[in-house]
Amino acid sequence: MRLTRGRRITVAAAAVLILAVAIPALSATGAGTVSFATPRVRGAVRGSTPVSWAYQAGDIVKSTSHVTISATTGSSWKVVAQNLWIQGGGFWWDTTKWTDGVYALRVGVDGTSVQGFVYPVYVDNTNPVVRLTSPAHDLSTGTEAPLAIVQGNQTLDVRATDATSGVRLVRWILDGKEIARGYPVKYNFNWKPGQHILTAFATDMAGNTSSDSMTIIAIPDSTITTDPPPNPGDIVPDVNDTPSPSVPGGIEPPVLPTPDVGVPTLPPVDVPSPDPSVVPAVPSPDASPPPVDVPSIPPTPLPG
């Protein structure tokens, strides 16, 4: 009985050992994982940018596995790089060959369903648009010129926009020195008289930068300050001055121009001298007048 019972225990133990060899135990780590290290969620990239991943080996993911990187804007997945050794850890992605926009990235272990994702990622290879709005550009020439005339204390303001990743920073540079940074930013500045160069640099989330500059001519306060006109009652006339007729309302009488009356200059006339040998005839006062013929008038008959 004891021997038989002992044999039964030995056979049962052997059966358990055979079963353990036929069905391997599951690993504590499972299938394994893979995930992105860069870029990060909501990351903005431009130019040639690094793409890297991390993995955890398991029953499916091995140190000898390879991965494929794909990207999509929502329609279909497009391969970015493939057959990359998983232990390599990353590669350089040339984003200039891709359209600016918002992408999702996928890293998949070749031959398996193990995947990792990152979303959103902003591909942005376009500079932001920046424009100085205060001081205002001088429009006196009819076209916008990079020139502004300022006086005293004025606000510096800028408008910056970026279509894809957004504006991250604006830097104010005055005569080669940074005077302020941030975005949005309005900088109150007291101008010193003279000529200056003001530049605003705008940088987006991907690192693209653009600028806008203008020449600033700052004039002293006294240059354009005018005193108010004095009141007529405050004016004390000089006793030596001839008083002028007063005009109601303090309006000075207009000064009429003096008419220019020209006197014509006549040419000289030659008058001949009289001949002393010639004596003009003068009638005698005693001379009788010449006889005058008086016609005779016939008588007029009376009616009978």
Same domain, 113 and 193: no
pLDDT in the model for residue 292: 53
Residue-range definition of the domain harbouring residue 178: 129-223
Same domain, 175 and 192: yes
Q: How confident is the model at residue 19 (pLDDT cuts 50, 70, 90)?
A: very low
Same domain, 116 and 165: no
pLDDT in the model for residue 129: 97
Same domain, 104 and 139: no
pLDDT in the model for residue 15: 35
Same domain, 151 and 191: yes
DSSP 179-242: EEEESS--EEEEPPSEEEEEEEEEEETTS-EEEEEEEEEE--HHHH--PPPPPGGG----TTSP
Same domain, 112 and 188: no
Average pLDDT, integer, range 67-83: 96
Q: How confident is the model at residue 2 (pLDDT cuts 50, 70, 90)?
A: very low
Q: Which two tokens stand for residue 156?
A: 């510096």
Q: Residue 247 falls within a domain, yes or no?
A: no
Instruction: Name the residue with tokens 């591909």.
Output: 123
Same domain, 117 and 47: yes
Cα torsion 5, 7, 11, 13: sign: positive
Q: Residue 140 falls within a domain, yes or no?
A: yes
The answer to whether the CB of 66 falls within 8 A of the CB of 85 is yes
CATH value at residue 114: 2.60.40.10
Q: Residue 189 falls within a domain, yes or no?
A: yes
pLDDT tens-digit readout, 29-65: 599 999 999 999 999 999 999 999 999 999 999 999 9
Same domain, 75 and 145: no
Q: 195, 223, 251 — which closes off a domain?
A: 223
Q: Which two tokens stand for residue 96?
A: 């200039």
In the predicted structure, residue 100 carries a pLDDT above the cut 90: yes
In the predicted structure, residue 257 carries a pLDDT above the cut 50: yes
Q: 82, 101, 123 — which closes off a domain?
A: 123
Name the percent of the chain lying above pLDDT 90.
52
Q: How confident is the model at residue 294 (pLDDT cuts 50, 70, 90)?
A: low
Q: Residue 145 falls within a domain, yes or no?
A: yes
Q: How confident is the model at residue 17 (pLDDT cuts 50, 70, 90)?
A: very low
Paired residues of 118 in beta bridges: 105
Q: 107, 123, 139 — which closes off a domain?
A: 123
pLDDT tens-digit readout, 268-288: 656 566 666 655 555 555 555
Q: Residue 82 falls within a domain, yes or no?
A: yes
Q: Report the domain count for the chain.
A: 2
Same domain, 134 and 217: yes
Residue 302 neighbours by CB distance under 10 Å: 5
pTM: 0.61
Residue 205 neighbours by CB distance under 10 Å: 20
C-alpha distance from residue 180 to each of 40, 130, 173, 199, 266 (Å): 29, 16, 8, 11, 83
Same domain, 116 and 179: no
In the predicted structure, residue 95 carries a pLDDT above the cut 60: yes
Nearest Cα to Cα of residue 44 among 161, 119, 97, 123: 123
Top-confidence residue, 289 or 67 = 67
Q: Residue 79 falls within a domain, yes or no?
A: yes
Q: Residue 300 falls within a domain, yes or no?
A: no
Q: Residue 239 falls within a domain, yes or no?
A: no
pLDDT in the model for residue 60: 95
